Amino acid sequence: MQSTRGLVWFRRAAMLAALLCAIVVVVGAWVRLTNAGLGCPDWPGCYGHIHPAQLVDRVAEINADNPARPFDYQKALNEMVHRYIVGALGILVLGLAALSVWNRRDPAQPRVLPWVLVVLLVFQALLGMWTVTLLLKPLIVTLHLLGGLATLALLWWLALPPEHRELKAAERPVRRLAIAAFAVLVAQIALGGWTSTNYSAAACADFPACHGKWWPDMDFKNGFVLWRGLGIDYEGGVLDTPARVAIHYSHRLGAYLTGLVLLLLVLGAWRRAQTALTRGAATAVLVAVALQITIGMNLIWQGWPLWLGTSHNAGAVLLVLAMVALLRYLSPRAEVGRLRP
């Protein structure tokens, strides 16, 4: 069945929003890796203004009020650029919700997910505010990252039209494995966020061993305390070396497991998939996994340059996009009106 013009425009808008959301996630990683998360210690403005350039005449006053964290124009600009792009994304998501109402008579029009996205984006804004006001608390920052990727996944799901066919019996095991693999991927991304927000990426300077050991000295108990109370400034990290090593090494071990699970998924999809779109999505997953592993290893070998660290986050974005596409094509609809995604 052909899509109506309204639904076509809806999916195009969702595609644009997904692209913008991917940029938001990568720019957010860049802000975090440049230590600009507290470049503006208030929210949603920056020292009460909408642009850091308006603060040039107040630098001495700002530094006198907060000598422990002097004003840094570049960090403030990095943070505000991120907020500007998030604002544009918010307008697009609201537009999607409005389009879903305008096009509500089309039985294929998604009606629930656009409003779920509105709620999710509001929650993301709160997490963004708490990231600043709670001084980069790792749990909040990690949830902020996961919320951004959840927003991306839902937008990408809406942008991709479902196939109108019956799911073949041979594909059902692949779909179940894809759901499980996606859960493993989310857990691994959460570990990556925890590694970054606890400043543990550089805890192991060699690979594949860590400090010359296959099982280095690690403090898992201290490394995975989710909440340490209020008033702690987490910029630069607060953990000792064994705790940071525990976090880093857990992420590394998680990468091995995630890579294995995704490889099994790709092989299963190649063998059992009934459409070229499904096989293509599986191939995209394999390419994204290979790219992400390559970036991860080179991050360690090259001493964690900023561009590679940002690329590692972009690799996570590509993995999410590829996995959502695979799940979308493994979730066909025999009838347009049976399910509204």
pLDDT, average across residues 304-332 = 94
Residues taking part in catalysis: 79
Which amino acid belongs to residue 160? Answer: L
pLDDT value at 148 more than 60: yes
pLDDT, tens digit, 9 for 90 and up, residues 75-134: 999 999 999 999 999 999 999 999 999 998 888 889 999 999 999 999 999 999 999 989
List the end-to-end C-alpha distance of the chain, in Å, as a whole number.
17
Q: For residue 130, what are the domain limits?
A: 1-161
Mean pLDDT rounded to a whole number for the chain? 91
- Annotate 147-213 with DSSP letters as a single string: HHHHHHHHHHHHHSPPP-SPPPGGGHHHHHHHHHHHHHHHHHHHHHHHHHHTT-TTS--SSSSBTTB
- Both 198 and 242 in one domain: the answer is yes
Which of 121, 140, 161 is the last residue before a domain boundary? 161
Which of 161, 187, 212 is the last residue before a domain boundary? 161
- Both 5 and 145 in one domain: the answer is yes
pLDDT value at 37 more than 80: yes
Dihedral of CA atoms 19, 148, 93, 10 in degrees, nearest 10, equals 50
Which of 99, 130, 161 is the last residue before a domain boundary? 161
- Percent of the chain residues past pLDDT 70, beyond the cut: 96
State both tokens at 99: 């389009």
Give 210's strand partners. Answer: 213
> Does pTM surpass 0.85?
yes
Which amino acid belongs to residue 13? Answer: A
pLDDT the model gives residue 3: 56
| Coarse DSSP helix, strand, coil percentages of the chain, rounded to the nearest 5 percent | 70, 0, 30
pLDDT, tens digit, 9 for 90 and up, residues 197-208: 999 999 999 999
- Both 276 and 135 in one domain: the answer is no
pLDDT, tens digit, 9 for 90 and up, residues 2-19: 457 888 899 999 999 999
- Both 250 and 116 in one domain: the answer is no
Of 135, 132, 121, 257, nearest in space to 187 by CA = 257
329 near 275, Cβ under 8 Å? yes
Identify which has the larger pLDDT, 307 or 66.
Answer: 307
- Both 199 and 136 in one domain: the answer is no
Split into its structural domains, the chain has a count of 2
